[in-house]
Amino acid sequence: MAGAGYLAWLGVGMLRRTFKERGRPASGDTADAAGATTAQETWARSWARGLGTSLLNPKNGVFYMAMLPQFIPSGTSHLLMGVVLAAVHDLEGLVWFSALILGTQLVRRWLDRGSVQRVIDAITGSVLVGFGVKVALGDA
């Protein structure tokens, strides 16, 4: 239920921002003296949001409990091999998300347009609210 509530909360926040902000400026348009502080606060907020999302996602634990044991060879330390397999999974995720970040840098100018951000927020917010409701109703 906490995960369902979190999904709905994120989705409603995105939808509310979509309807509230009409002339949202591009993120790189304004430079001020507090830019480094703002960037640090944004990074910290993004990290905390990602951590919260991962901790509230029960699929992470289910994945590691269901998938990794079948790849642990007999006769090896379950803890050591489990940590190695989890590290490989994390490394693959790091490579994948780095590729996504680099790819979005290529289309950053287009993604920074307010109209594009509003459309993305509206679609993503609607999907998150729908997933939250579906999880809360037990249909997931």
pLDDT for 32: 46
Summary mean pLDDT of the chain: 83
Helices then strands, each counted (H, E), the chain: 6, 0
Average confidence (pLDDT) per 10 residues, the chain, 140 residues? 86 85 53 55 83 85 88 92 91 92 89 87 90 81
Supply the pTM of this predicted model. Answer: 0.50
Note the pLDDT tens digit of each residue in 80-116: 999 999 899 889 988 998 999 899 888 988 888 888 8
Q: Smallest Cα–Cα separation from 26: which of 124, 119, 116? A: 116
